Structure 1
Amino acid sequence: MTNPNLTTGSIWRLLHNDQEMARLTVTGTDMPWIHAEVETVSGFDEFRPLFCEQERALAEEDWERADACYTHIRSALTMRFADGGPVAEFMLHIHDDGTAAWRWHDEPFDVVSP
C-alpha cells in the first residue's frame, strides 16, 4: 500500500512555534529521501541563512558544522506530514534553487550521552 504522505503533490509543512514557514510539495522519492518544491511564506527568511550554511558545510564535507546546522534546524523547526500529523524526526535540506530533500522517521532518534 502506498503511503499518501509520499504521493507526488502531497504537501508537508515546516513550522516554527506552530507558525507555518514553508510548504513542501512532494515531487518524488528516492528512498530514504523525499524531494519537493519549496514554497516559503512569511518568517522563513529568518532561517534561510541556516539552510545555506548547512548546504555549504555539506559541500565542503565539514561534518561538524553540518551537524551543528542540523541541531539548530531541529531545535527551531518542526514538520507536519501531508495528513497533518507531526513528524517525530527529520533531516531536512532546503536548497537555493527552491527544492528540498529530507528523510524522516516516525519516532525520535535516541540521543546517546557521552
Structure 2
Amino acid sequence: MTNPNLTTGSVWRLRLHHGDQEIARLAVTGADMPWMHAEVETLPGFEEFRPLFSEQEQAVDEEDWERAEDCYTNIRSALTLTFPDGGPVAEFMLHIHDDGTAGWRWHDEPFDAVNP
C-alpha cells in the first residue's frame, strides 16, 4: 500500500508553533528516502524565516555543521511541519532553498526518542 504522505502532489504544511499560522505549503515532487522533495508555495509570514533557511543552506554548503545545527534548532523551535492529513510531524529536518524547492526528512517520533 502506498503511503499517501509520500505521493507526488501531496501537500505538507509549515506552520508557526504559536497561533498555528500556515506560512508555506510543500507540494511533494518526489522522494529519495529518507529525503522528501517539494516545490514551495510561500504564504504571509514566511519572509521572516527566509534568512534563516538561507543561512542554513550556506552553512551546509560551507560544511559549518555547528552553524547549520544552530539554524536547525531555531527552525524547530519556531515552526511545525504537518502531514497532508493535518497531523503534526514529530521530528523533521527541513531545508528550503532559494530556488523555491525544499528537501526534508522526518520521523514519527522525536529524534531523541529514536536515538537515546
TM-score range, shorter chain: over 0.9
Counterpart in the other structure of 2:29: 27
Shift of residue 109, structure 1, vs aligned partner: 1.6
Shift of residue 83, structure 1, vs aligned partner: 1.0
Q: CA separation in 2, counterparts of 1:20 and 1:85?
A: 13
TM-score of the pair, normalised by structure 2 = 0.94
Structure 1 stretches lacking a partner, 5+ long = none
Identity %: 79
Q: Does 1:97 align with 2:99?
A: yes
Which of 63, 87, 94 is the aligned partner of 2:65?
63
RMSD: 1.1
Which of 74, 82, 85 is the aligned partner of 2:84?
82
Q: CA separation in 1, counterparts of 2:97 and 2:42?
A: 12
TM-score of the pair, normalised by structure 1 = 0.96
| Alignment length (residue pairs) | 112
Shift of residue 59, structure 1, vs aligned partner: 0.3
Local SS of the residue matching 1:12: strand
